[in-house]
Every structure is written in C-alpha cells, then in structure tokens.
Amino acid sequence: MSIPKPGQPVRGSTTGAPIMALFDLLGRRWAMGIIWNLAAGPATFRALQSPTGRIQGKTISPSILNARLKDLQEAKLVVRTLDGYGLTPLGRQLFTLIEPLDPWSLEWGKAL
C-alpha cells in the first residue's frame, strides 16, 4: 500500500487535492501521534512503541508502528537517523502548522 498522493483519488476527494491527500495520510492510525512525539526530538522504535515512552499510555503494535513510519518516510516527513527516527525539515514545518490546533482543540472540546 502506498501513501495518499496529490492528484490521485483519496479518502474524501476524488480529485486528490493536496490538502485532502495530507489529511488522508495524517488520518491514518498513529500518524499524528508519531509526528507529535518526534517534534520533541529523535526517538528509537522501542521508545515510540513503549507505553512509558513518547506516546504515553498507549502501546502501538510493532506492525502498525513499522507501517506508519514507512508511510511517513515515504511522505518525506520522517527520516531514520543515528538516534532512531526524527522529523525532516518538511515534518518540522508541518508540526509548526498543526501545533496551534492543540489549544484550540481544548477550547473546542469544552464547548462540546
């Protein structure tokens, strides 16, 4: 399976608008959690998988974590480093764009 690509049909869009391809990719299980946690710095596979590691309270199955890391590498958002996995410049740029949604989502949650 390949990542959603702009210009090709994706979930929610028959035209494959770039934003819809991005939302399709980020909507995959654990994709956002991996990006969010790698924003703190590089992490090993085990650290990302551990319930006491970066994604606290949850354990990601090795197969899902491996698949998602491959997807995010193919999308040029994550890179394998000597220290494990880290965000690429594009991945960091994406994080700076989505990080402000965190406080907004807290307010939204309260409103609901």
Q: Tens digit of pLDDT for each residue in 11-50?
A: 888 888 999 999 999 999 999 989 998 999 999 999 898 7
Flag whether pLDDT at 53 surpasses 70.
no
**What was the pLDDT predicted at 16?**
84
> Where along the chain do its domains lie?
18-104
Whole-number average pLDDT of the chain:
90
- Cα 62 from Cα 106, distance rounded (Å): 30
Q: What is the mean pLDDT of residues 81-96?
A: 96
pLDDT at 55: 58
Q: In angstroms, rounded to a whole number, what is the distance separating the alpha carbons of residues 46 and 62?
A: 9
Q: Which CATH class is domain 18-104?
A: mainly alpha
pLDDT given for residue 1 in this prediction: 58
